[in-house]
Amino acid sequence: MWHPNRPILTNWNAGEIIPRDILFEVDGPTIFTAVIGITIFLFFKRDELHDAEIFIAAPVSQHEIELLKNGRVSVRGVLSYREAWLIQTDLDYQVTKFQEHVYETIEALLPPKGLAIAAKFGTVPDSVEQAEAYLGFKFVSKSMTSRSMPLSVFKGLVDDVSNLVKSALLPHSLAKGRNNRFFDVEIREPKFASLLITISEPRFDQVGLREHEPTRHLQSASLSKEATLLGEELWSSLETTARLAEAGEIAQEIAQAHRNALKQIKTIVPSEQNDLERLELTFHRAQATQVLSIDRKIGDRLLRAERGVDGDRRSIEGTIVEINGEAHTFIIKNLAQRQTTCGLPYEIFAQMERDGLMRRGQRLRITGTFWKRTRRDYIWFDRLPEPL
Amino acid sequence: MPNYIHGTPDNCPDAIGANVNGTIYRACDTNPPTAEDFTSHAHSLLPRKRRRCDPTQCESWGLSVWTSEADALHAKRMHEWLGKKFIFKADVQPADGRLAQTGKDPTHHTYWRYDTVDLVTRSTLVAV
């Protein structure tokens, strides 16, 4: 519990801790506010001992407390992205020892992700920024810390988010030529630790629209309405495909139905091809913020579904000439000496190994989605090939 | 006329509680629970409970409970230290005691049982 490299202090001179606003209690206050000096702190009971209690305490604003009470942000969220203290008290709330922390050192002790103050609110965002933003993107990767991340990673993700927002939310009436210059969104202060980029609702340059002949007739209000509908469509598609991807591979017809969203998101999802571990998307809708979490497994399935949208369904025959156990792929060569890389789910790869099919020299008929390429073609399949 | 446990202030639960048909959920230290798990702060001899007891507050003479399994399990997920405890549930009727939502936490309730009611043997473990 106590960080071994941070000093544990006993000279508490900030007075008695008096629970003021008790937000949660179990045989006594467990989440409450207290005023220390002139600052409101949120206290979260982290542990109880025989004759003591240990709290995480962090400064909060009244606005943040209201968001918490109304189920707009998680308990974790109100304690995140700020300095905090680990405080041990006796049963009379007299402080016996305390330790100062930064977000990185207290993060592991915070309450679980997504938990609101009450069960009735469901899963909620883990930051105030996500709770208040129209659309939020939270990238989690080992290369990101609260102090720094590689510039290339930061720029790449900012560019990808920018491109996604423009392609997903740009009203069709502004899609021609340079008319998209009248469309923009505001981003809030990005947060490090994990990279959090949140944006407000799209806005339109009404003056610019009026001064430009082809767009003179367009009204901000109707453009905003259209952008909102596009945002709803994007979210709906992402929710559907991500939930399906959580359960398994996405059927091709479903991928086709959601092809736009899959194409828009493909550069930002975590996958085996990048070092992102998780992407958390939030969308403000009907007075609440919805949360969607995409890990690498889901991300890879979304990418495969997106690849399948453009591919061509066919059967090919060939002999295994090379196997890549680490990537779970293999290469076959047909009678014309043309090579094809074969991609497949791990479960099928493992089944082929068990069945003795995964060996050099094995002839197979494979049915899947095929892409013609310059040097080596590619086929993705998700059912056992037929041995020949 | 049923009685509350000895020492409970006169009229205190009657003023704010209601006789209900329902299920209450309680976090207990042991499995199976002991009498101490269903003893209020005011009635307990444990220092932890006595120190947090305000005998002028009606709630101190009752038990902190939840009235839904979802709320009980939510509390357990929220607080790691609750993970060491066991959630038990008991069906109660108007003849067993009184229940009131107490405090600003809308999921928090207090239950005052009548002195002839044995919640220990009536309770069953909620699987997690």
The predicted-structure confidence for A41-77, as pLDDT tens digits, reads as follows 999 999 999 889 999 999 999 999 999 999 999 999 9
Mean pLDDT in residue range B36-41: 94
**With pLDDT > 70 as the criterion, what percentage of chain A qualifies?**
100
Give the model's pLDDT for residue A17.
Answer: 94
Lowest mean pLDDT among A247-256, A285-294, A304-313, A343-352: A304-313
Give the pLDDT of residue A318. Answer: 96
Q: What's the rounded Cα separation, in Å, for the pair A90 and A138?
A: 38
- Closest chain B residue to the Cα of A22, Cα to Cα: B104
Q: Which helix (H) or strand (E) holds B119?
A: helix B119-122
pLDDT of residue A386: 95
pLDDT over 90 (residue A281): yes
Q: Are A138 and A196 in contact (CB under 8 A)?
A: yes
**E strand spans, chain B:** 22-28, 63-65, 86-92, 97-101, 109-113, 124-125
Q: Which of B47, B68, B105 sits opposite A22 (nearest CB)?
A: B105
Spatial separation of the C-alpha atoms in residues B95 and B81, rounded to whole Å: 34
Residue B95 has pLDDT above 80, yes or no: yes
ipTM of the complex: 0.91
- A86 and A108 in contact (C-beta within 8 Å)? no
What is the rounded distance in angstroms from the CA atom of residue A39 to the CA atom of residue A21? 14
The per-residue pLDDT for A180 is 85
Average pLDDT over residues A117-133: 92
Average pLDDT over every residue of B34-50: 91
Residue B1 clears pLDDT 90, i.e. is over it = no
Tokens of A299: 């991300």
Task: Tell whether omega for the bond before B32 is within 30 degrees of 0, i.e. cis.
Answer: yes
DSSP structural state of residue A111: P
Nearest residue in B to A31, CA atom = B105
Tokens coding A103: 């977000």
Helix runs in A125-281, H state only: 128-132, 151-169, 206-211, 220-247, 252-257, 259-265
Q: Helices A296-310 and A220-247 meet at what angle, rounded to 10?
A: 110
As a whole number, mean pLDDT of residues A85-104 equals 93
* Beta-carbon contacts of residue A336 (< 8 Å; ≥ 6 apart): none
pLDDT on residue B56:
86
- Residue A380 pLDDT: 85
Band of the pLDDT at B54, cuts 50, 70, 90?
confident
The answer on pLDDT for A32 being more than 80 is: yes
Helix, coil or strand: residue A233: helix
- Please tell me the predicted confidence (pLDDT) of residue A175: 83
pLDDT at A195 over 80: yes
Contact status, residue A288 vs residue A295, Cβ threshold 8 Å: no
Q: Which residues contact A169 (CB under 8 A, 6 or more apart)?
A: A183, A185, A202, A227, A230, A231, A234
Task: Report the pLDDT value the prediction gives residue A375, as an integer from 0 to 100.
Answer: 78
Q: What confidence category does residue A383 fall into, taking pLDDT thresholds of 50, 70 and 90?
A: confident
What is the mean pLDDT of the segment spanning A185-210? 87
Q: Which among B100, B5, B8, B114 is positioned nearest to B57, based on CA atoms?
A: B8
Question: Of the candidates A25, A112, A120, which has its C-beta nearest B77's C-beta?
Answer: A112
Q: How confident is the model at residue A81 (pLDDT cuts 50, 70, 90)?
A: confident
Q: How confident is the model at residue A39 (pLDDT cuts 50, 70, 90)?
A: very high
Residue-wise pLDDT for A304-341, tens only, equals: 888 877 777 889 999 999 999 887 899 999 999 999 99
Residues of B within 8 A of A42 (CB-CB) are none
Contact A91 B105 (CB under 8 A): no
- Identify whether the C-beta of residue A240 lies closer than 8 Å to the C-beta of residue A255: no
- For the full predicted model, state whether its pTM sits above 0.95: no
Residue pair A384/A367 in contact (Cβ under 8 Å)? The answer is no
Report the pLDDT value the prediction gives residue A84, as an integer from 0 to 100.
Answer: 95
Give the mean model confidence (pLDDT) for residues B80-108.
93
* Overall average pLDDT of the A215-228 stretch: 89
Q: Inspect the interface and report whether the beta carbons of A119 and B73 lie closer than 8 Å.
A: yes
Residue among B26, B60, B68, B79 with most chain A CBs within 10 A, to mutate: B79
Interface of A with B (CB under 8 A): 21-28, 30, 45-48, 50-51, 75, 91-92, 111-112, 115, 117-120
Distances A197 to A37, A98, A134, A236 between C-alpha atoms, Å: 33, 33, 11, 20
Rounded to whole angstroms, how far apart are CA atoms A320 and A359? 7
What's the average model confidence in pLDDT over A358-379? 89
The larger pLDDT score, comparing residue A252 to residue A142, is at A142
* Predicted pLDDT at A193: 75
* Chain length of chain B: 128
Number of Cβ within 10 Å of residue A185's Cβ equals 18
CA distance A170 to A302: 23
User: Does residue B100 have a pLDDT over 90?
Assistant: yes
Contact: B104, A26; criterion CB under 8 Å: no
Least confident of A103-112, A131-140, A186-195: A186-195
pLDDT at residue A121 in the model: 93
Residue A315, both tokens: 């059967």
Q: What pLDDT is attached to residue A145?
A: 80
Residue type at A5 in one-letter notation? N
Instruction: Check pLDDT > 90 for residue B13.
Output: no
DSSP-derived secondary structure letter, B11: T
pLDDT of the residue at B52: 80
- Of these ranges, A1-10, A210-219, A358-367, the one predicted with the greatest mean pLDDT is A358-367
The stretch A228-248 carries a mean pLDDT of: 92
With 90 as the cut, is the pLDDT of residue A292 above it? yes
Q: Which of A30, A91, A117 sits opposite B79 (nearest CB)?
A: A30
Distance (Å) from the alpha carbon of A63 to chain B's nearest alpha carbon: 17
Cα A194 to Cα A191: distance, rounded to the nearest angstrom? 7
| Res A43: pLDDT | 97
